[in-house]
Structure 1
């Protein structure tokens, strides 16, 4: 299946975060890789996006759009780090 890079998440994530999500760093719960979310491998769905770890293919986060609402599942991330002031 063809994937996009994590920068495609900027539109979907903009309503969920008060910071630029693609620039934030996250740690994969599966392999402990630390990378900007913009480096994730993203697969599009009709209703949202699935972001996978660039290193081990673990699902990092899922953004689902349905009925005018967005839901976020981040169970594949240990944490997200954002630069102060963002």
Structure 2
């Protein structure tokens, strides 16, 4: 069996810059655990730790973690499921 062809991660630069340059609070999301749909603005965010932690308002699954260090921003979207950002045409 042959390995599937792939390109390096530079191929993601353009598409990600389109998505991350918009306000995600209006982006539609679906929880990876319970399937609840809504917009990012509806997530429950905890701000009393070293960063921000967002969870699903229905099942409380961890959806996003964001931590800022002096020289970086770390983002974990492990529980996000899917995100839909509508693009202006």
Q: Indicate yes or no: 2:69 matched with 1:66.
A: yes
Number of residue-to-residue matches in the alignment: 71
Q: Residue 68 of structure 1: CA displacement?
A: 2.5
Cα separation, partners in 2 of 1:55 and 1:35, compared to 1, 3 Å: same
* 1:54 aligned partner: 57
RMSD of the TM alignment (CA)?
1.8
Structure 2 spans left out of the alignment, 5+ residues? 1-18
* 2:9 aligned partner: none
**TM-score with structure 2 setting the length:** 0.72
- Write the mapping of 1:2-81 to structure 2, written as runs, cut at 5 A: 17-81=20-84
Query: Quick one: higher RCO (CA 8 Å, sep 6+), 1 or 2?
Result: 1
Flag the structure with higher strand content.
1
- Which portions of structure 1, spanning 4 or more consecutive aligned residues, are displaced by more than 2 angstroms? none
